[in-house]
Amino acid sequence: QDGRGTGLEIKYEDEVSGYTVCSGTVMKFNEGNISLLCDCRFAVTQNNEEMLKSIHQVAERFDYIDTIESNEAPYYLPMDNEGVQSLLRVFNKLTGNNVTFIPIMKGGTYASYIPNALSTGNCYMSKEDWMNFDFSFLPAGHGGAHQKDEILPIEGFMKAIKLLFAIVLEMD
């Protein structure tokens, strides 16, 4: 529905990590059965057992069978972490912003397997510029983050690369 777990009744948001992200990513047809793999990254303070119970109840309501293939705890680094503070310092210096909070999660990366790892985005644009970006050359529902034919505006990508290099140099 909205990429935030509404359909599975697990929509949740907290101040520590932001909102839960959930999307159906792989659909398979096999021997008359349909399966859908959902990738969910839930907020740090979200109750894991309640979330799994909700998913099961929704599946049961529609006469589906739910199977949890893996269930990892969310990855989170607190704002006072040295690496997070370095990231904020570089980000604010290069962008002219004065950001004091940035959610640090692993996303779809290996960050949770490396102590104190930070994962970062691959596009930097203001929310206004992103909302005004012209996706009209693609069909509706295409081009945006985690959508079919996901694209990045090249200027936002290049800004993110500069930020990434500066962050690595700061932390090295």
- pLDDT of 105 reads 62
Q: Give whole-number Cα distances, 97 to 88, 90, 91, 118, in Å.
A: 10, 10, 8, 20
- The pLDDT value recorded for residue 93 is 93
DSSP 75: P
CA atoms within 13 A of residue 58's CA, in its CB half-sphere: 14
Distance separating alpha carbons of residues 109 and 160, to the nearest angstrom = 17
Rounded CA-CA distance 103/82 in Å is 14
Splitting the chain (172 residues) into consecutive groups of 10 residues, what average pLDDT does each group show?
84 84 85 85 87 92 87 80 89 89 66 77 78 84 77 87 89 77
Q: Are 22 and 9 in contact (CB under 8 A)?
A: no
